[in-house]
Structure 1
Amino acid sequence: MTTVDRELASDIDACCRLTGSFTLRSGQQATEYFDKYLFEGDAALLSRVAREMVQILPSDTELLGGLELGGVPIATMVSYLTGHSAVFVRKQAKTYGTCKLAEGRDVAGRRVTLIEDVITTGGAVRDATRALREAGAIVEVVVCAIDRSPEGENPLADVGLEVRAVLTKAELDAARNAAR
């Protein structure tokens, strides 16, 4: 990691790593939890994470797909920094008004890079990928703030999605150990 990455990892770790007993979205039990809302609600940290995401976005990105709820503030900040339009991807299409799953511009035929906060098993990203592809989007990459999946594994390989992370759990662990 570079010095900037180490500093960001240390700051993110100090800000949002919680210990205790937690049930993850996947149903898995964990003794550590990364409360992404703690860094997403901190303008300076959110901006730093977004600037790192900009560096790893695919060059052919046409739209940013912020996943409900945690991916929305990050996608908004990345949109601001890059000028790329963002769409906001719901967990389910709403049943009133426009009845859309992806709010914003039409995704059909467009290269959508998904923006997510934390990935462990990728369940929400997998669901969003399938739904966006059904709507005609080209979805090949997800950029996340924290990838806490097992090191060296791609939890989204089954849907042909590349995961690009600003920070991995291993990097956060290294930052925590260095701070001790």
Structure 2
Amino acid sequence: MMNTTSILKDLVSDRIVQLNPSKPFTFASGIKSPIYTDLRLTISYPKLRRKIYRALGHLIETNFPNATVIGGVATAGIPHAAWVAEEMQLPMIYVRSKPKDHGTSKQIEGKVTPSDHIVLIDDLISTGGSVIKASKAVQADGYQVDGVVSIFSYGFADATDNFKKANLKFVPLLTYPELIKQMLNDEQIQNDEYERLNKWHHDPWSWK
């Protein structure tokens, strides 16, 4: 059984995940957020990234037992897909955000066959838009996508709806509700802060 608590604690202590309800961050979408997550930093922490790829491998074995190919979503999902593929001793591919504008115009790099079962990896899921787009590109080329895993998900209702509409199974390793609950348990935030942070999760557009 996976113990993700140490990963959550490392993300906070290494300031890969930062919480600041009094001085919110601004997402590209315009949402004011009490959390900033830069999971690209995880590649610079060998012990942490090892915990992550081993946990992701276990997550895939548990939820997608028929997986035969690990796919990374460009760009942040690529290094983690490489480590997971090595850990699981499976082939790896990666999916570009758009087809190449030269050569063979491929969007999928690596060897894959129509009989393969692909699991895609991304680092962070907010609404799921980019990884769903990548999945559709893979499916449009005639390949099977069993589902998606990520290191972290905000757990927005929009993402749940989007994956459901895409008929795509999604399983995150870590979620925002788990994060703030752990920080409350560790006394890194107080009850009133926890309530504010929880309200943002339920309605990020109107949060103040």
Tell me the TM-score normalized by structure 2: 0.78
- Residue 164 of structure 1 corresponds to which residue in structure 2? 171
CA distance in 2, matches of 1:68, 1:168: 21
Task: Mark the CA change 1:67 to 1:33 in structure 2 (over 3 Å): closer, same or farther.
Answer: same
Work out the percentage of aligned pairs sharing the same amino acid.
Answer: 23
Task: Mark the CA change 1:32 to 1:126 in structure 2 (over 3 Å): closer, same or farther.
Answer: same
CA distance in 2, matches of 1:12, 1:110: 33
Task: Mark the CA change 1:122 to 1:107 in structure 2 (over 3 Å): closer, same or farther.
Answer: farther
- Residue 11 of structure 1 corresponds to which residue in structure 2? 10
RMSD of the alignment, in Å? 2.0
Task: Mark the CA change 1:90 to 1:42 in structure 2 (over 3 Å): closer, same or farther.
Answer: same
Deviates more, 1:154-163 or 1:130-139: 154-163
C-alpha contact (below 8 Å) 2:71/2:92 kept by paired residues: yes
Counterpart amino acid of residue 41 in structure 1: S
Task: Mark the CA change 1:10 to 1:117 in structure 2 (over 3 Å): closer, same or farther.
Answer: same
* Residue 137 of structure 1: how far off its partner (Å): 1.2
- Residue 146 of structure 1 corresponds to which residue in structure 2? 152
Q: Give 1:113's match in structure 2, choosing from 116, 119, 124.
A: 119
- Residue 198 of structure 2 corresponds to which residue in structure 1? none
SS at match of 1:124: helix
* Residue 14 of structure 1: how far off its partner (Å): 2.8
Superposed CA offset, 1:35-78 (max 9, x none) = 00121321211111110111111111111110001100110100
Number of aligned residue pairs: give it: 177
**Structure 1 segments unaligned to the other structure (5+ residues):** none
CA distance in 1, matches of 2:104, 2:83: 25
* Residue 130 of structure 1: how far off its partner (Å): 0.8
- Residue 180 of structure 2 corresponds to which residue in structure 1? 173
Q: Does 1:23 align with 2:27?
A: yes
C-alpha contact (below 8 Å) 1:109/1:136 kept by paired residues: no
Superposed CA offset, 1:76-132 (max 9, x none) = 100110111110110001111232111111343321101110111001111011111
Counterpart amino acid of residue 10 in structure 1: K
Consecutive aligned runs of 4 or more in structure 1 exceeding 3 Å deviation: none
Larger Rg: 2
SS at match of 1:10: helix
* Residue 13 of structure 1: how far off its partner (Å): 2.8
**Structure 2 segments unaligned to the other structure (5+ residues):** 189-208
C-alpha contact (below 8 Å) 2:70/2:92 kept by paired residues: yes
CA distance in 2, matches of 1:119, 1:140: 17
SS at match of 1:167: strand
* Residue 28 of structure 1: how far off its partner (Å): 4.4
Counterpart amino acid of residue 156 in structure 1: F
CA distance in 2, matches of 1:115, 1:107: 18
Counterpart amino acid of residue 172 in structure 2: A
Task: Mark the CA change 1:151 to 1:167 in structure 2 (over 3 Å): closer, same or farther.
Answer: farther
Alignment of 1:54-69 (within 5 A): 54-57=57-60, 58-69=64-75
* Residue 6 of structure 1: how far off its partner (Å): 1.4
Counterpart amino acid of residue 7 in structure 2: L
CA distance in 2, matches of 1:151, 1:121: 8
* Residue 151 of structure 1: how far off its partner (Å): 6.7
Tell me the TM-score normalized by structure 1: 0.89
C-alpha contact (below 8 Å) 2:128/2:159 kept by paired residues: no
